[in-house]
Structure 1
Amino acid sequence: MSSPSPSEATSPEVSPRHALAGLAILVGLLSRIAGLALLPGAAALTGPALWLGTLLLWRDLPRRNRRQAGLLAGLGLGLLLVARLAYGARIDWTAVLEGNGMVVAMLVGVSFIGLVGNLRGRPRPPGQAVTGRRGLAGTWLGVHLLGTILNLSTVFMVGDRLARRAPLTTPQLLALNRGLSSAALWSPFFASMGIVVTLAPAMDYATVLAHGLPLALCAGLITLLELPRRFDLSDTAGFSMSPRSLLLPVIMAVLVMGFHFGLTPELSIVGIITFLMPAAALVANLTRGPRWTLGRLHRHTLTRLPAMRGEIALFLCAGLLTEGLSTLANAATRGGWTLFDAFGAAQAVGSFLAIVASAVAGLHPIIGVSVLASVLDLAAAEQTLFAFTALAAWAVGTSVGPLSGINLSLQGRYGVAGSRMMRENLRYALAMAALATAVIWRLAA
C-alpha cells in the first residue's frame, strides 16, 4: 500500500463545533441512504441532522447568506403561523424539517465525487483550456447533456473543473445556469418532469419532447449569440468535450442509468445519485487501502462538509419557505374553487408569465406550478398543455429566479449572488419567454 502524502497525513485543526457539524451532516446523508435501502424509517433523521449541522455553522455563514437564509426561514415560519391561526391548518413538522432535505442530501453525496478523480490528494495541474465561443459551447452542451441525467450534480462536476484554473467568471456561471435550467424543458429525469407527471398523469410525453427539445436548443443558441457580444471570452476557459474531460461524468451517467433501469428502478434519479457518488468515492479510494480511505473520508467530513454551510443553509431555509407557502395555499383553497373554467392558450400563457414573474420575485417555480395545479380542474385533453406550460415556466424561472436550486447552488458553491444571476439573465429570460409563449400558442392550437 502506498504511504500517504504529507498533505494527506496531516489533519487540519478543526474546532469541536465544526467537527460535530460535519458529523451531523454526514449522519443526514447516511440516514437518507439507509432510508433508500433497507431502513425507510431512518430517513426521518435526515432533516433534523441537516438542520442541526446548519445551526452549529450558522455563525460562520457569510453575512449576506445569513441574512438571506434567515429571511427565508422567517417567512416560512410566518406563513405556517398564518395557515394555522387563520385557516386551522395542521402543520406537519416532519415535512417542515424535511423540506429540500432530499436535495441537500444529494448535494452532500455529490461532494464526495471530489475524492474520485484526485487520489493523490493534490489538485491536478490544469491543461490547455478551450476558450472563446467554442469553450462556451462546450460548457453549455456538457452541462445540458449530462445534466439531463445527473441533474444538479453536473454543475458541480463541470464548475469545479473550471474553477481549478481560476475563480469562475460571469460567462462561465451563465453557461452553467442556462445549460442546466434549459434541460428541464424535456429531460424525463428532472425533478420538474417528476412533479409535472404527478400533477398531469395524462400528459403526452412525446408531444412535450417534440416542443421542449427544440426550445432547449434555442436556449443554447441564444447563449452562444448573446454572451460573446457582452463579454470578452478570449481568456474564458470552457469545458472541453474531450474524452478525458468527459470520462468521469460519462461513467457516472452510465452507472446512474444502470441503476435506474436495471438494479433500482423504483428509486428516483436524485436518490440514486445520493448513494452512488459516495459509493464511487469509497470504491475508488479503497484501491489505496482501508487506512488511506478512512483518512480521506475523515478529513472530508471535518473540512469539506462544514464548508458546504452556505449551500445547505440556503436550500433548507428555501425548503422551509416552500413548505410554508404550500401549506397556506392548500389551506386557503380547500373549498374546491377553480381558477379557470377551461385551460386554453390564453390561460396557459397567463399562467406561464405569472410563474416566471413569481420566480423573479424570489419564489421557486415549484411553488407556482403546485399552486396553479391546486386551483385547476384539468381535463385529460388539457394536461399536455399544462405540462408543457409548467416545464417552460420551470426552465425560464429557474434560470432567472434568485432562489432557484441552480442559483442557490451557484451562490453557495462559488459565491455569486442570486440577485446578480437574476440581473445577468433578464434579457435571456425575456427572449426565452417570448419563444415559450409562441410555442404554447402553437401547442394549444
Structure 2
Amino acid sequence: MPLRHALAGVLILLGLVQQILAFSGIVLLPHGVGYALWLATLLLWRDIPRRTRWQAGALAVIGLGLLIVSRWHYGAPVAWPTVTSGNTYVVAMLVGVSFIGLIGNLSGSSRPLGRPVTGRRGTAGTWLGVHLLGTILNLSTVFMIGDRLARRAPLTTPQLLALNRGLSSAALWSPFFASMGVVMTLAPSMEYSRVLAIGLPLALASGALTTFELSRRFDLTEVAGFSLSPRSLLMPVAMAALVMLFHFQLTPELGIVSIITFLLPAVALASNLPAGPRWTWHRVRQHTLTRLPAMRGEIALFLSAGLLTLGLSTLVAAATGSEWRLFAHFGALQAVISFLAIVLSAVAGLHPIIGVSVLASMLDLRGSEPTLFAFTALASWAVGTSVGPLSGINLSLQGRYGISGYRMMRLNLGYALVLSALVVGAIMLLDAWL
C-alpha cells in the first residue's frame, strides 16, 4: 500500500473526528475538516477514476474561478480560509456511514445474507433487499448482495437493473442517504415528515414498476434473486430507531445528518469492543487504511461540487446585488422544470448533486418552499442516478461487474420516463398539500 494512501486514510478519519468534536463545541482547527478532506483528496487524486477526476477537477476549477471573478471584478468579500468547507458535512456523514461495515459480520463474513430465489419473486426480493439495506448501508449494499448473487453465475441484466433501481430509489426518502444530507444542508427548514409521506410510496411504486417491467422484458425463470430474512432487517431497523431516538429525545438540537455522522461510528466501535481493544484497533486501522481511501471518488466529487456551489452563489450575489433569483416563487411548475433539467443534466453525464447545488444557489426559499425544493431535489437524484451513465451506482456496477454505464442508461430510459411522470404527479400533490 502506498504511503500516501495510508496518510490520506488518516486524514479522512481526522476530518471525521474533527466534525464529531465540533458537535460538542470543540474545534481543534477552524475549518480543519475541510483542510483534512481536501488534502486527502489531493493525495489520492491520481487514483480517482479518470472520468470522475476530470469531472471533479472541472467543478473545482470553475468554482475557484467564479470566486476569483467575484472578488476581483465585483469586489465581493470572499473568506478564502473557508472555501474548503463546502459539503464537508455531507462528506463527514458518508465517512461515518462507511463504519457500518464494521458492525457484526458485514465487513466480509461468508455468512449468507439470505437464500436466493428465482423468478419474479426473486427479482422483487433483490430490489427490496437493496432498497431496505441500502437506506443505511448505501452503495456497499449493492456489492454485498451483488457479490452473493454472482457466486452462482455472472450477473444478468435483470439482476443489475434491480440492483441499480433498488438503491437509487432509496434516495426518495432515506434519511441516511447522501442525497438527504445535501438537501438538509441546502434547505434545513424542510419538513421531513411530508417528504417521507410522498417519497416512500413513490419508492414502493418504483419497486412495483421494476418488477412488472423486468418480468415483461426478460425471462426471469432462472434469474436468481435475493430473499430477505428477519435477521437481515434487524440492523437497519435498529439503526433507524436509534437515529430517531437521538433526533427527538437525546440530542434534538442536532440534525439527522449530524446524528448519523457520530452515531454509526460509535455503534461500530461498541459492537467490536467486546472482542477486546486490540481487535477493535485492528478493525479501525484496517478500515482507515483500505476503505476510507477507496472513497476518494465520491469525496472528491462532493467537495468539488461544494466549491462550485460557493463560487456560483457568490458570483450571482455579487453580480445582482443579492436580488436576482431564478424563480420569484418556487411552486409546482418551477419544481417540475427544475426536476426535468437536473435529470437531463444527469443523462448528459453530470451528477445530480451538481444540478441540485446550482439550483439551490439561485433560489430564495421561503415558507413551505424548502419542503417542495427538498422533494424535487431528492426525486431528481433518484431518477438521475438510475439513468445517468456517470452516476456513482452505474460507475460502480461498471467497475465491479463489467456493464457499461451507457448501456445501463439505455436500459433505464423507459423506467426513468415512467418514474418521472409519477414524480411530476407527486410534485403537484405535495404543492397542493403545502
TM over 0.5: yes
Match of 1:141 among 121, 128, 143: 128
- In the alignment, which residue of structure 1 is the partner of 2:38? 51
Q: CA RMSD in A?
A: 4.0
Cα deviation, 1:359-417, whole Å, max 9, x if unaligned, reads: 43455555545655665677758777666545544443444445667667777888877
Aligned twin of 2:315: 328
Identity %: 67
Q: Distance in 2 between the 1:399 and 1:381 partners?
A: 28
Offset of residue 22 of structure 1: 1.9
Structure 1: which 5+ runs fail to align?
1-13
Match of residue 429, structure 1, among 392, 416, 426: 416
1:192-271 to 2 correspondences below 5 Å: 192=180, 195=183, 199=187, 211-231=198-218, 233=220, 237-271=224-258
Contact persistence 2:313–2:362 (CA under 8 A): no
Equivalent in 81, 84, 90 of residue 77 of structure 2: 90
Give the CA deviation at 1:315.
2.9
- Equivalent-residue separation in structure 1 for 2:83 and 2:21 (angstroms): 21
C-alpha distance in structure 1 between counterparts of 2:30 and 2:356, whole Å: 26
Corresponding residue to 2:282 among 295, 307, 311:
295
Q: Which moved more, 1:336-345 or 1:315-324?
A: 336-345
TM-score by length of 2: 0.79
1:163 aligns with 2:150: no
Q: What is the aligned residue count? A: 428
**Distance in structure 1 (CA, Å) of the matches to 2:234 and 2:383:** 30
Helix, strand or coil for the counterpart of 1:287?
Answer: helix
2:295 partner amino acid: M
CA deviation profile, 1:31-61 (whole Å, cap 9, x unmatched):
1221223414557222211222222222333
Other-structure match for 1:104: 91
Say whether the 8 Å CA contact 2:335–2:427 is kept in structure 1. yes
Out of 87, 103, 106, the position equivalent to 1:116 is 103
Residue 18 of structure 1 is matched in structure 2 by: 5
User: What is the identity, as a one-letter code, of the residue corresponding to 1:163?
Assistant: D
More moved, 283-292 vs 154-163 = 154-163
Moved more, 235-244 or 163-172: 163-172
Listed one character per residue, the Cα deviations across residues 423-442 of structure 1 (whole Å, up to 9, x for unaligned) are: 44332222122233344456
User: In structure 1, how many angstroms separate the alpha carbons of the residues matched to 2:16 and 2:185?
Assistant: 27
Tell me the CA shift for residue 176 of structure 1: 4.5
Q: CA deviation at 1:77?
A: 2.7
Q: 1:307 to 1:70 in 2, by over 3 A?
A: same
Given that residues 356 and 393 in structure 1 are in contact (C-alpha distance below 8 angstroms), is that contact kept between their aligned partners in structure 2? yes
Q: Which residue of 1 aligns with 2:272?
A: 285
- Is the 8 Å Cα contact of residues 312 and 361 (structure 2) preserved in structure 1? no
Cα distance, 1:264–1:344 mapped onto 2, change above 3 Å: closer
Aligned-pair CA distance for 1:175: 3.6
TM-score (norm. length: structure 1)? 0.78
1:134–1:17 CA distance, 2 compared to 1 (3 A): same
Change (3 A) 1:245 1:359: same
CA contact (8 A) 1:340 1:347 kept: yes
Distance change (3 Å), C-alpha of 1:259 and 1:89? same
Q: CA deviation at 1:180?
A: 4.5
Out of 67-76 and 375-384, give the one that drifted further.
375-384
Q: 1:359 to 1:291 in 2, by over 3 A?
A: same
1:391–1:279 CA distance, 2 compared to 1 (3 A):
closer
* d(CA) in 1 for partners of 2:114, 2:229: 12
C-alpha separation between the residues in 2 aligned to 1:308 and 1:353? 29
State how far apart, in whole Å, the 1-side matches of 2:55 and 2:182 are: 28
1:81 aligns with 2:68: yes
Are the equivalent residues in 1 in contact too, given 2:309–2:357 (CA < 8 A)?
no
Q: How far did 1:242 drift?
A: 0.8
Letter in 2 for 1:156: S
Residue in structure 2 matched with residue 307 of structure 1 by the alignment = 294
The 3 A distance-change label for structure 1 pair 100 and 403 is farther
Q: Residue 275 of structure 2 aligns to a residue in which SS?
A: coil
Q: Counterpart of 1:222 in structure 2: which amino acid? A: L
Question: Taking structure 1 as reference, are residues 120 and 423 closer, same or farther at Cα in structure 2, changes over 3 Å only?
Answer: closer
Contact 1:311 1:412 in 2 (8 A): no
Q: Any conservation in 2 of the 1:57–1:306 contact (CA below 8 Å)? A: yes
Alpha-carbon distance between aligned partners in 1 of 2:3 and 2:38, rounded to the nearest angstrom? 17
Q: Provide closer, same or farther for how the CA distance between residues 371 and 95 of structure 1 changes in structure 2, counting only shifts above 3 A.
A: same
Pairs within 5 Å for 1:329-408: 329-340=316-327, 345-365=332-352, 368=355, 372=359, 380=367, 389-401=376-388
Structure 1 120/207 Cα, relative in aligned 2: closer, same or farther at 3 Å?
A: closer
**Contact 1:143–1:155, Cα closer than 8 Å, also in 2:** no
Cα shift at 1:263: 1.8
